Amino acid sequence: MKAKEVVRRYAAGERDFRRVNLRGQSFQGKDLSGADFSEADIRGTNFKNAILTGTKFCKAKAGLQRPWAIGLLIVSLLLSGIIGTWSVIAASYVARLMKPEYTQQYSCLPGILFFIVLAFILITFASKGFTEKAFRSVAIAVLFAIVVLCVGIIYGFIESNRENLSKHVMEFSNAVGGGTGAIIVALNGSVLITIAGIVGGSVWSIFASTINAIFAILFFLFYRYLINEAEIFHNFAYDAVFIISTILVVYSSILIAWGALGEDNNFTLVREISIALAATRGTSFYNVDLTNADFTGAILKSTDLREATITHTCWRDTIKIDQARPGKTILADTAVREFLVNGNGYKKYYRGCVLSGANLRGANLNYANLKQADLSEATLEEANLEWANLTETNCIDTDFTHAYFTGACLEAWNIDSTTRLTNVDCRFVYLLENPEPGTDNRERRPSSGEFQPGEFTKLFQEVLNTVDLIFRNGVDWKAFVTAFKKVQVENEDTELAIHSIENKGDGVVVVKVSVPPDTNKEKIHSDFTQNYELALKAVEEKYKAELKARDDQIVIYREQSADLMKITERLASRPIQNMIDVTAKAENDMSDNSQSFNIDQSQATNPNVNTNHNFAVANDNARQFNIANLTPEQTQSLAEAAA
């Protein structure tokens, strides 16, 4: 059926397109939401940028059209053979440093060292893949090769007495070029063998590997004849390096290809390149909205799923989805992809895995480890999560309707009002992953007995309708009360109440504020944070003002104390016999104008000290300086004493 006919019928209200042949058709940018393409042949069909929300592709057949698949197989086999011949050519250049005319004039040491470096690089890539560790090892080997090259040039310079130096450098350059070529040939050969395996299956990958090796052997014999060397083993060292280098290149190609086909994460680079080439003319779902689409039982090899929206898309029992091009979707993770296909996560390890938007309806996650996994927007309706570890799992906007939670660990799981816990089946849960030190307490809920129907949902629903205010350096409660009252006034239509206050230790305090279900929690949190900061600054300014007032009082006290001490010292320094008697009138005047200074220094720094200018404190007699009426024989006016 032609694409135009499908679009016309869809516009007329038809949705049933089961078992139709849509090979090579283009629906680019079309909206076919809700259509049923079950068991349809969609090989080579272009759905790029289309909207396929809720569309069914159950048991549909995607991938390459037969002519393209056959053509790609033939090309990959032919190129595998050609790569085999290039392996021989690259190896011949590597072996040039072992030719008799070179070793007799210089030395065989540079050739042996260079061969060892090349062998190390090829074996490293073939065994460890393209990992960070492998590249570090290769970098060290390359650095060693550069050192060998420099030493070889210097050695040749010394040995040749500056003659034939250019020839020596040329041979080294040829060897380096041959070694680089050998690595490139090995990588290209692995890609071609992998493509053959993806398009035709494992048998064709073996066939491509065999062709690669056979062509290498045949061309080796032909090459020796071509350069007029009838005797194959006329020089042991040269021929040994030549043959072993050829074998290493071919063998590395095969090992890398088999690692890529076996989904070894160390060979992801080769696998991704091969799948990208194999999916070039395959079914394209590039940048398609596949929300709630159903691919149950579909064949999806050589399919482009890059940039597709696959929220709640069903991949159950799909075939060869591992050979599709997933891009950055959750299907790129091998463990996640396998779980989405078979739905069996029993005792599996999914720590930190991204399952955002995944369709996990009815999945078995019994005893699974989902610690720190991302389950946001995923649907786990009727999923079995009994005894699963959900510690620190992100469950925002996750649907757990009718799920089974008995024995699950819910320590610090991230939920909010969008998390659906309707009709959850649960007898008890644990709030700690590991028991408290020295105990077996994992904070079981309920502490004894079992949840009654609906109690689990009610327990966590209270948590859902709260805003967490986290204070990391303690709480200034004056500032808190001021800020909280202001937020209540600013949000007078929203009922706010303190739900709980938790001391987490190390100065961390969490205050939970209860809010109605539909409250904008982000706004409440933002408003409080701003008001709290303002209130905190106001309190700090008040404290600073009080401290400044206290400092001023202390300065005044010290000045007065200094004056009194000077007067006292002068009085003490006058001998009694030199004192002048004063008249009765003067005595009376002094009596009437006597002064008493009472200063309590212990109260000077008290936070509650009165800030007035009267420093007469009567409670500390030990610090009083009393100047009372003196006898006529021993007194004189303070003015005269100070004179």
String of DSSP letters for 437-506: TTS----EESSSS-PPTTHHHHHHHHHHTEEEEEESS---HHHHHHHHHHHHHHTTTS--EEEEEEEEET
Name which residue leads in pLDDT, 358 or 573. 358
Residue 94 lies in a domain: yes
Q: What pLDDT does 593 receive?
A: 44
The mean pLDDT of 32-42, rounded to a whole number, is 97
Q: What pLDDT does 620 receive?
A: 39
Distance CA 463, CA 417 (A): 9
**Judgement on whether residues 122 and 268 belong to the same structural domain of the protein:** yes
* 554 pLDDT more than 70: no
Residue 607 lies in a domain: no
Considering only 18-32, 92-106, 299-313, which range has the smallest mean pLDDT? Answer: 92-106
Average pLDDT along the chain: 83
Q: What pLDDT does 619 receive?
A: 36
Distance CA 143, CA 148 (A): 9
Q: What pLDDT does 12 receive?
A: 95
**Judgement on whether residues 6 and 43 belong to the same structural domain of the protein:** yes
Distance CA 193, CA 84 (A): 12
Domain containing residue 515: CATH number: 3.30.70
Q: Per the confidence metrics, is the pTM higher than 0.85?
A: no
Residue 619 lies in a domain: no
Residue 608 lies in a domain: no
The mean pLDDT of 523-536, rounded to a whole number, is 89
Residue 621 lies in a domain: no
The mean pLDDT of 54-72, rounded to a whole number, is 96
Maximum C-alpha span of the chain: 148
**Judgement on whether residues 175 and 216 belong to the same structural domain of the protein:** yes
**Judgement on whether residues 99 and 161 belong to the same structural domain of the protein:** yes
The domain boundary residue, chosen from 526, 548, 570: 548
**Judgement on whether residues 188 and 241 belong to the same structural domain of the protein:** yes
The answer to whether the CB of 340 falls within 8 A of the CB of 350 is no
The answer to whether the CB of 257 falls within 8 A of the CB of 209 is yes
Would you place residue 568 in the very low, low, confident or very high pLDDT band (cuts 50, 70, 90)? low
Would you place residue 190 in the very low, low, confident or very high pLDDT band (cuts 50, 70, 90)? very high
Residue 641 lies in a domain: no
Q: What is the DSSP string of 174-217?
A: HHHHHHHHHHHHHHHHHHHHHHHHHHH-HHHHHHHHHHHHHHHH
**Judgement on whether residues 254 and 115 belong to the same structural domain of the protein:** yes
Residue 386 sits at the vertex; the CA angle it makes with 381 and 390, to the nearest 5 degrees, is 85
The mean pLDDT of 255-281, rounded to a whole number, is 93
Residues of the chain above pLDDT 90, percent: 51
**Judgement on whether residues 61 and 79 belong to the same structural domain of the protein:** no
Q: What pLDDT does 583 receive?
A: 43
Chain segment 388-439, per-residue pLDDT in tens: 999 999 999 999 999 999 999 999 898 887 899 999 999 999 999 999 888 8
Chain segment 461-477, per-residue pLDDT in tens: 766 678 888 887 888 88
**Judgement on whether residues 479 and 499 belong to the same structural domain of the protein:** yes
The domain boundary residue, chosen from 400, 427, 453: 453
Q: What pLDDT does 581 receive?
A: 46
The answer to whether the CB of 288 falls within 8 A of the CB of 47 is yes
The mean pLDDT of 190-211, rounded to a whole number, is 94
Considering only 64-73, 183-192, 634-643, which range has the smallest mean pLDDT? Answer: 634-643
Domain that holds residue 13: 1-65+296-306+315-328
Distance CA 245, CA 92 (A): 8
Residue 459 lies in a domain: no
The domain boundary residue, chosen from 393, 421, 453: 453
Distance CA 303, CA 279 (A): 6
Close Cβ partners of 138 (under 8 Å, ≥ 6 residues apart): 121, 124, 125
Q: List the structure tokens of 299.
A: 């064949």
Domain count of the chain? 4
Domain containing residue 449: CATH number: 2.160.20.80
Three-class secondary structure of residue 610 per DSSP: coil
The mean pLDDT of 156-166, rounded to a whole number, is 57
Would you place residue 580 in the very low, low, confident or very high pLDDT band (cuts 50, 70, 90)? very low
User: What single-letter amino acid sits at 500?
Assistant: S
Close Cβ partners of 177 (under 8 Å, ≥ 6 residues apart): 93
The answer to whether the CB of 197 falls within 8 A of the CB of 257 is yes
Chain segment 129-140, per-residue pLDDT in tens: 888 888 888 888
**Judgement on whether residues 182 and 76 belong to the same structural domain of the protein:** yes
**Judgement on whether residues 378 and 428 belong to the same structural domain of the protein:** yes
The mean pLDDT of 379-395, rounded to a whole number, is 96
Burial 498-526 (b: 16+ CB within 10 A, else e): ebeeeeeeeeebebbbebeeebebeebbe
User: What single-letter amino acid sits at 588?
Assistant: N
Q: What pLDDT does 463 receive?
A: 67
**Judgement on whether residues 126 and 269 belong to the same structural domain of the protein:** yes
Would you place residue 624 in the very low, low, confident or very high pLDDT band (cuts 50, 70, 90)? very low
**Residues written for the chain:** 643
Name which residue leads in pLDDT, 255 or 631. 255
Domain containing residue 58: CATH number: 2.160.20
Residue 192 lies in a domain: yes
* 2 pLDDT more than 50: yes
Chain segment 280-326, per-residue pLDDT in tens: 999 999 999 999 999 999 999 999 999 999 999 999 999 999 999 99
**Judgement on whether residues 127 and 229 belong to the same structural domain of the protein:** yes
User: 3-class secondary structure for 375-408?
Assistant: CCCCECCCCECCCCECCCCECCCCECCCCECCCC
Three-class secondary structure of residue 226 per DSSP: helix
Most confident of 86-95, 243-252, 256-265, 383-392: 383-392
